[in-house]
Amino acid sequence: MCFGRSTVPEHKRNSSRCDAPTPIPANRQRWSLDSLDWQAISSNPARESETLFYLVTAASFIESTTDRYTANLIAQFRGDNEITSWLEQQWLPDEIQHGHALRRYVQIVWPNFDWDRVYISFLDEFSAHCGPGELEPTRTREMASRCVVEMGTASYYRTLSLISPDPVLATIAGQIAHDEIRHYKHFYRYFRRFQKTEPESRRSVSIALLNRLRMIDGQDSFIAMKHLYRNSHPCEPFNIRIYRNLRRRSRQLIEPHFPYRMCIQMLLKPLDLSPQVHRIALPMAETLARWVVP
């Protein structure tokens, strides 16, 4: 899993708003659940892969939590109508749609899995044990941090679309990857804008990038995997050894197709390195990424 996007959830700041449903305004999405050919899922080779089940279902859980942690992100940019409108009217509906599409896929392909019940147990823990992440102290740094999140999800879904034995899942993952890349471009553009009005040093931007990188494959994915594992192994305690084992299996599936170069290019972009430094840094960072990500 490659998300690391949880920030302190809104309910941690204001518990009275914990269960308030987030309104999803009309949006301008490129695709919808109705545009997908769900009938094409029949005797499905994806059904046989337990690792794929973990990857897709954990992603569906994490995407579905977006409205839980997004209010504080929007609040940080309150007053900047262009950004808050985009977050509320495009980015949030996109992310929620990602969760809905993946959930429907899981429910069709693995019909014995009770998505709603396990999601509630996941959400219970996810809400009570938020990740260590917080918003960055400045808007410029937060935009850089958001680029890392979208880099992670774009890389993840692009890989998922490549490894999927099922064309429907490949299409869903491909559409989501496309959205995540668009999100990255928006956040990067806003980052550049803030760099002009509220500049941050390269060192400071690096810290923001590293802070967010450290959250990749963090608490959100651990909690998701735990609840999925417990559902199928109700008598076994979940621990770090089991988690690492699940990760190792995921890695074996993902690694040959993971777009390391794209990932590193997206990561280095906010640092605005000179072409010479970029040329030197790229292969070094790519080598490093092969050890760290996913």
CB 238 to Fe ion: min, Å: 25
Give whichever of 49 and 153 is closer to Fe ion, judged by the CB atom: 153
CB 115 to Fe ion: min, Å: 17
Q: DSSP for the chain?
A: -------S-HHHH-GGGTTPPPP------S--GGGS-GGG--S-GGGG-HHHHHHHHHHHHHHHTHHHHSHHHHHHTTT-HHHHHHIIIIIHHHHHHHHHHHHHHHHHHSTTS-HHHHHHHHHHHHHHS--S----SSHHHHHHHHHHHHHHHHHHHHHHHHH-SSHHHHHHHHHHHHHHHHHHHHHHHHHHHHHHHS---HHHHHHHHHHHHHHTT-HHHHHHHHHHHHHH-TTS---HHHHHHHHHHHHHHHGGG--HHHHHHHHHGGG---HHHHHHHHHHHHHHHHHH--
Rule CB under 5 A: say whether 98 interacts with Fe ion: yes
Give whichever of 168 and 229 is closer to Fe ion, judged by the CB atom: 168
Taking the CA atoms of 246, 218, 269 and 94 in sequence, report the sign of the dihedral they define: positive
> Which residue in the set 103, 183, 186, 226 belongs to the binding site for Fe ion (CB under 5 A)?
183
Give whichever of 154 and 229 is closer to Fe ion, judged by the CB atom: 154
CB 142 to Fe ion: min, Å: 15
Rule CB under 5 A: say whether 247 interacts with Fe ion: no
Whole-number Å distance between alpha carbons of 105 and 120? 18
Q: How many residues bind Fe ion (CB under 5 A)?
A: 5
* Residue 261, token pair as written in the block: 């170069």
> Which residue in the set 10, 52, 67, 95 belongs to the binding site for Fe ion (CB under 5 A)?
95
Give whichever of 216 and 229 is closer to Fe ion, judged by the CB atom: 216
Contact range with Fe ion by CB under 5 A, out of 5-13, 76-84, 130-138, 176-184? 176-184
Give whichever of 67 and 95 is closer to Fe ion, judged by the CB atom: 95
Give whichever of 144 and 229 is closer to Fe ion, judged by the CB atom: 144
Contact range with Fe ion by CB under 5 A, out of 90-98, 203-211, 213-221, 282-290? 90-98
CB 183 to Fe ion: min, Å: 4
CB 218 to Fe ion: min, Å: 16
> Which residue in the set 10, 136, 142, 180 belongs to the binding site for Fe ion (CB under 5 A)?
180
- Per-residue x/- mask for Fe ion, residues 126 to 155, rule CB under 5 A? ------------------------x-----
Chain residues binding Fe ion by CB under 5 A are 95, 98, 150, 180, 183
